[in-house]
Structure 1
Amino acid sequence: MPSFDVISEVDKHQLTNAVDQARRVIETRFDFKGADASFQLDGLVVTMQAEAEFQVTQLGDILIGTLHKCKIDPAAMELGDMTQSGMTCRQLATFKDGLETDVCRKICKLIKDTKMKVKSTIQDQQVRVEGKKRDDLQQIMALLRGEELDQPLQFKNFRD
């Protein structure tokens, strides 16, 4: 029976590349000359640090630009609150890896509402969709691509 998995994951290697490119950008930008601005990657959390709030905001824009270049959807990034301690401002950008349970339920409900002859099941942090016809599965993929969910979706393991 044909099936595929709906997942949401961030390629950690590409994330490392995006952060490294963002570091190079701030090293060469004139408005950051002599400023204490940096990016630090720890797992799936990027810490943006600078001397002023507007610089941290600019660091966020630079990071989003480099994410696009590395083909990572910025919707996977969740910005935290800006904190200030002494002379530095800091903001955390956390990347979501895996579908949250609420999003999985929402996907299953969307699929069920189509009344198509497919079955969706939640498996850990992904949704498995099974059906008898490949065309039905492709219609479900198109439906999910068009929906506004909180996370970017990828489709893996398309099998006959």
Structure 2
Amino acid sequence: MAKEASFDIVSQVDMQEVTNAVHQALKEIENRFDFKNSKSEIRQDDKGITLVSDDDFKLKNVVDILESKMVKRGISLRALKYGKVESAAGDTVRQQVELVQGISKEKAKEITKLIKDSKIKVQAQVQGDQVRVVGKQRDDLQAIIALLKKADLDIELQFINFRS
């Protein structure tokens, strides 16, 4: 009997890299002339990131700075989910940014349906916030990875624990 190969599909964000990107963005905001005497700041906590600035225009600039730092640190912008802009204390505006960790049940069902519809001889199984794919041939597993990379799923996927 042939040994089965498998891998896991996950959606994870390296929180240390997020912290580093936030610190770099804060340094740039402190040093930029257009943010002089501004109340712009970026706060990170367990729930995500909070952006605060004087007005919508400066908030958009803060978002651009943060996104550029995230990309430089290898964090996909698909992992960021922006809340709506709301007014805050002291004539400022605030926006929450949620970090998407794990694959939701709906996305996991969408991924398994996509795999089953491909007619490639593998089994996909949802395990919490990840999906495990098992097949007898490595080529089939690599075909599934290529299929999922092409698919537009609105979340960043990583393929880990490749075992053969």
Q: TM-score, normalised by structure 2?
A: 0.95
Q: Does the alignment pair 1:28 with 2:31?
A: yes
Give the secondary structure class of the aligned counterpart of 1:140: helix
Residue 153 of structure 2: aligned partner: 149
| Unpaired segments ≥5 residues, structure 1 | none
Q: Does the alignment pair 1:87 with 2:91?
A: yes
Residue type matched to 1:100 in 2? S
Residue 124 of structure 1: aligned partner: 128
Q: Does the alignment pair 1:50 with 2:57?
A: no
Give the secondary structure class of the aligned counterpart of 2:87: strand
Separation in structure 2 between the aligned mates of residue 44 and residue 72 of structure 1, nearest angstrom: 17
Equivalent positions of 1:4-83 (< 5 A) are 4-83=7-86
Residue type matched to 2:131 in 1? V
Shift of 1:103: 0.5
| Per-residue CA distance 1:26-62 (angstroms, 9 max, x = gap) | 0111100111110000024110001111111111111
| Per-residue CA distance 1:69-102 (angstroms, 9 max, x = gap) | 1100011101001011341110011010000111
The percentage of counterpart residues that share the same residue type is 42
How many residues are aligned here?
Answer: 160
Give the secondary structure class of the aligned counterpart of 1:145: helix
Separation in structure 1 between the aligned mates of residue 81 and residue 61 of structure 2, nearest angstrom: 16
* Structure 1 runs (4+) greater than 3 angstroms displaced: none
Q: Does the alignment pair 1:97 with 2:91?
A: no
